[in-house]
């Protein structure tokens, strides 16, 4: 059929100026009927319907002349149950309504699936890729769950490239030529599985990088940080850019076995004297160039003078093995501040627990293992706003006994302000064993206590969903 342009012309200029008859369609052997129409306008519309249908039905897709892509690698993980699938779909579509949104429950689902070694159905991979694209903090978990087919899909859509797997042969070239954001993402991915190779990539291009890029590259080394990275970080202490030196200092603070840590210990030992009943402190004098190179600055710590701030910085970078936790109750505040910073940076669980038992804080509890943190929190007697802040910072999942006892304590004390303050943490970390206690509290609560009832309803809903997830993956 070659009359489409003629038909368009008649439609554009009008049938009074240009006529078009159905006999011009040449419908022989294509239909045994000719539409019975009345009027020129109806004839044009009928012809348009016939021609459009013919063009669509007779359209031949073009022949693909590009390179045929290899299929995704097989995924041997078993597919999750139909109930788990339905739940994930409801979470991703936001059909389930919970206080604070569905992101935390989706993360709980993904965590449970990863732990169980199960995969979502392939039809939900696109939804998970969109979820990870919108929620950057979840990408590592999403990548672990979507498997090889999800990584294959990610290669074909630029916004999903964060989930794509880069072939080993292409890594070096891509790292050298890609945009800065893509280079950092690639380095972070490699760092998770091959930290030494990732560091080698940084070392190979280090001399040619701009200062901002050098600092950003160092920041990516926090994942998988080890003493193997220490020579590069020690070298970076002499970098001409302050941002690069600061990035190196931040990482070296986490390596108590580094040469810098040993130098800090030598500076700290003469300043601290451990007596039987107290810890005596000699504040440091003006810092020499070597101390400045190691990152001691004139930045004043809140509530402390310049010399006390120097002491805090030195103690924060000193290996905690230099001291004994028995000295914590006897130490003045500037020493406790330095030791607290050191414990947080060095991830020393013994010191974190000892400091938290002496002076619990959200930062200390948040860095502890859940069992230790909840054990410390159980010893807190006063259920006030401070307790709510500590509870909100305590990592999960919380043990079943602690969860059930906590709900009972909050209900008995009528601690509704704490309930509202820590609602997100309760929904995320409470063990499903506490569900019955939450439901009993909700049933017993007066109807006029609307804020507390709303929180309890949301909490009960979240615990119900989490209990279902737990059941489907165990």
Q: What does the pLDDT look like over 297-326, one tens digit per residue?
A: 999 999 999 999 999 999 999 999 999 999
Q: Which residues contact 85 (CB under 8 A, 6 or more apart)?
A: 79, 120, 121, 124
Residue 436: strand pairing partners: none
So what's the pLDDT on residue 33?
Answer: 59
User: What are 194's two structure tokens?
Assistant: 């091959």
So what's the pLDDT on residue 331?
Answer: 94
Chain Cα centroid distance, residue 42: 60
Given a cut of 70, whether residue 122 has pLDDT beyond it is yes
So what's the pLDDT on residue 1?
Answer: 42
Residue whose structure tokens are 């409801």 = 90
Q: What is the C-alpha to C-alpha distance for residues 226 and 241, in angstroms, rounded to an integer?
A: 24
pLDDT one-digit tens code per residue, 223-253: 999 999 999 999 999 999 999 999 999 999 9
How buried is residue 39: exposed, middle or buried, by Cβ count under 10 Å (0-12/13-18/19+)? exposed
Q: What is the C-alpha to C-alpha distance for residues 234 and 256, in angstroms, rounded to an integer?
A: 13
CA-to-CA dists, residue 256 to 196, 309, 328, 382, angstroms: 19, 20, 19, 36
- Torsion sign (Cα): 438, 439, 443, 449: positive
Given a cut of 80, whether residue 169 has pLDDT beyond it is no
Cα angle at 389 between 388 and 390, to 5 degrees? 90
So what's the pLDDT on residue 95?
Answer: 86
So what's the pLDDT on residue 31?
Answer: 52
Within 13 Å and on the Cβ side, how many CA atoms surround 166?
A: 20
Given a cut of 70, whether residue 470 has pLDDT beyond it is yes
- The residue length of the chain stands at 474
Prior bond of 408 cis (ω within 30°):
no
Q: How high is the mean pLDDT of the chain?
A: 90
Q: What is the C-alpha to C-alpha distance for residues 90 and 100, in angstroms, rounded to an integer?
A: 16
So what's the pLDDT on residue 38?
Answer: 78
Per-residue H/E/C for the chain: CCCHHHHHHHHHHCCCCCCCCHHHHCCCCCCCCCCCCCCHHHHHHHHHHHHHHHHHHCCCCCCCCCCCCCCCCCCCCCECCHHHHHHHHHHHCCCCCCCCCCHHHHHHHHHHHHHHCCECCHHHHHHHHHHHHHCHHHHHHHHHHHHHHHHHHHCCCHHHHHHCCCCHHHHHHHHHHCCHHHHHHHHHHHHHHCHHHHHHHHHHHHHHCCHHHHHHHHHHHHCCCCHHHHHHHHHHCCCCCHHHHHHHHHHHCCCCCCHHHHHHHHHHHHHEEECCCCEEECCCCCCCHHHHHCCCCCCCCCCCCHHHHHHHHHHHCCCHHHCCHHHHHHCCHHHHHHHHHHHHHHCCHHHHHHHHHHCCCHHHHHHCCHHHHHHHHHCCCCCCHHHHHHHHHCCCCCCHHHHHHHHHHHHHCCCHHHHHHCHHHHHHHCCHHHHHHHHHHHHHCCCCCHHHHHHHHHHHHHHHHHHHHHHHCC
So what's the pLDDT on residue 149?
Answer: 95
Given a cut of 80, whether residue 457 has pLDDT beyond it is yes
Given a cut of 90, whether residue 189 has pLDDT beyond it is no
Whether 368 contacts 349, CB under 8 Å: yes
Given a cut of 60, whether residue 183 has pLDDT beyond it is yes
So what's the pLDDT on residue 433?
Answer: 93
Average pLDDT over residues 409-416: 92
Crossing angle (nearest 10°) for helices 259-268 and 242-252: 80
Residue whose structure tokens are 């409470």 = 430
């Amino acid at each position: 059929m070659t009359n489409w342009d003629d038909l368009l012309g008649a439609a554009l200029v009008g049938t009074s100026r240009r006529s078009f008859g159905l006999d011009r369609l040449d419908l022989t052997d294509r239909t045994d009927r000719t539409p019975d129409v009345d009027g020129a306008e109806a004839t044009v519309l009928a012809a348009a319907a016939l021609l459009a249908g013919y063009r669509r039905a007779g359209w031949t897709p073009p022949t693909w002349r590009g390179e045929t892509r290899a299929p995704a690698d097989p995924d041997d993980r078993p597919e999750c149950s139909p109930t788990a699938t339905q739940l994930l779909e409801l979470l991703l579509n936001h059909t389930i309504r919970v206080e604070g949104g569905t992101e935390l429950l989706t993360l709980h689902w993904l965590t449970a699936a990863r732990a169980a070694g199960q995969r979502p159905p392939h039809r939900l991979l696109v939804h998970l890729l969109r979820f990870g694209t919108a929620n950057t903090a979840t990408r590592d978990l999403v990548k672990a769950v979507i498997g090889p087919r999800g990584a294959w899909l990610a290669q074909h859509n630029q916004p999903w490239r964060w989930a794509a797997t880069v072939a080993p042969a292409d890594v070096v070239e891509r790292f050298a030529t890609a945009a800065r954001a893509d280079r950092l993402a690639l380095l972070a991915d490699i760092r998770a599985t091959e930290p030494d190779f990732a560091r080698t990539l940084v070392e190979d291009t280090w001399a040619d990088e701009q200062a901002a890029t050098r600092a950003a590259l160092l920041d990516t080394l926090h994942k998988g940080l080890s003493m193997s990275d220490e020579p590069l970080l020690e070298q970076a202490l002499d970098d001409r850019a302050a941002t690069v030196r600061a990035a190196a200092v931040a990482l070296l603070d986490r390596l108590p076995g580094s040469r810098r840590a040993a130098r800090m210990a030598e500076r700290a030992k003469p300043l601290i004297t451990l007596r039987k009943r107290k810890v005596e402190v000699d504040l440091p004098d003006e810092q020499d160039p070597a101390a400045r190179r190691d990152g001691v600055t004139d930045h004043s710590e809140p509530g402390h003078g310049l010399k006390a701030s120097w002491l805090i910085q030195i103690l924060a970078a000193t290996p905690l093995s230099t001291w004994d936790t028995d000295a914590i109750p006897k130490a003045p505040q500037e020493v406790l501040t330095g030791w607290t910073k050191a414990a947080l940076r060095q991830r020393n669980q013994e010191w974190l627990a000892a400091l938290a038992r002496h002076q619990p804080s959200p930062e200390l509890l948040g860095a502890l293992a859940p069992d230790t943190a909840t054990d410390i929190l159980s010893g807190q007697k006063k259920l006030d706003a401070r307790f709510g802040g500590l509870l909100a910072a305590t990592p999960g999942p919380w043990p079943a006994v602690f969860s059930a006892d906590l709900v009972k304590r909050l209900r008995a004390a009528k601690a509704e302000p704490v309930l509202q303050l820590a609602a997100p943490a309760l929904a995320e970390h409470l063990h499903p064993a506490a569900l019955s206690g939450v439901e009993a509290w909700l049933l017993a609560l007066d109807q006029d206590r609307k804020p507390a009832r709303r929180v309890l309803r949301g909490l009960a809903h979240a615990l119900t969903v989490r209990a279902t997830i737990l059941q489907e993956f165990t």
